[in-house]
A and B are shown apart, each in its own frame.
Chain A
């Protein structure tokens, strides 16, 4: 059975080969379109999604009706996975920001592999630790870092996790991610464009100078890259 597609996702690629080969019978591939909602808060988590491409936002829906981004998940991670096994309910709204190809397995079947394969248990626990550290870092970032540094970080992170240096993100969406006014996003994006770090037109942002953008990103970009984060947490095998 061809594993290549599934191995585009870092979590699946990290599994022992015989474990992934066994799971492949229950993993299917699916194109997911921009705007598709994978779960609403409170929904039963019945499927786990491992992006090969594309990007999912996990949004906290406040009582006031704001949709505030708490996390982005792309090919480095899984959606629904942090809920673990067994009957769980979604805490966030999982919204597909950038469409792509996802590997999908039902929660019921994943439980079976979780029970029988230490590699799956290791992968899920490890991912849970990375996610928690990332959420903690984001709390500090939103409180302490200036909006322009946070914008640079977001753009780099979206590009890394979706697998492309052109991200179809509107200014309205970035305003939601950064919790600032759309006008603020426009002015900051204009500045980055003036500095020739990005190019943007309606709905699409292209990173032109990745190294330059990295110098403007807050430290959180470097801290939460999963390869670095795993090292910081002592998770490297």
Chain B
């Protein structure tokens, strides 16, 4: 299965160095939403920045960005 990498970005990046094997991009979108929710639970932000300033960016094995979204978008159903 292909590897997907989930990074947190605001200029600066927190890098997902190991990646996760997932079946396809749909699964990667679901995983990204789950991770975002786990990070955001009962917390205002990361690295001293609010969630409104942060986004998640997902890359494939070749480092190509597949999609990204602001954390504050996560409650929307079509991520």
Residues of A in contact with B (beta carbons under 8 Å apart): 144-148, 171, 180-184, 186-188, 190-191, 194-195
Those 8 A-B pairs whose CB atoms lie nearest each other, nearest first: A146-B43, A146-B42, A190-B14, A184-B38, A180-B38, A183-B35, A183-B6, A184-B35
Q: From the candidates B7, B14, B31, B41, name the one contacting A181 in the complex (CB within 8 A).
A: B31
Q: CB within 8 Å of A: which of B18-38? A: 18, 20, 31, 34-35, 38
Given contacts A147-B38, A190-B15, whether A183 and B31 have CB atoms under 8 Å apart is yes
Residues of B in contact with A (beta carbons under 8 Å apart): 6-8, 14-18, 20, 31, 34-35, 38-39, 41-43, 46-47
Tell me how far the C-beta of A177 lies from the nearest C-beta in chain B, rounded to whole angstroms: 14
Given contacts A183-B6, A183-B31, whether A188 and B39 have CB atoms under 8 Å apart is yes
Contact B35 A191 (CB under 8 A): no
Contact B18 A186 (CB under 8 A): yes
Contact A186 B17 (CB under 8 A): yes
Q: Which residues of A contact B42 (CB under 8 A)?
A: 144-146
Q: CA A62 – CA B32 in complex, angstroms?
A: 25
Contact A187 B6 (CB under 8 A): yes
Chain A residue at minimal CB-CB distance from B18: A186
Q: From the candidates B7, B14, B18, B41, name the one contacting A146 in the complex (CB within 8 A).
A: B41
Chain B residue at minimal CB-CB distance from A180: B38
Chain A residue at minimal CB-CB distance from B42: A146
Contact B6 A191 (CB under 8 A): no
Chain B residue at minimal CB-CB distance from A171: B18
Q: Which residues of B contact A182 (CB under 8 A)?
A: 18, 20
Contact A187 B14 (CB under 8 A): yes
Chain A residue at minimal CB-CB distance from B40: A146
Tell me how far the C-beta of A204 lies from the nearest C-beta in chain B, rounded to whole angstroms: 15
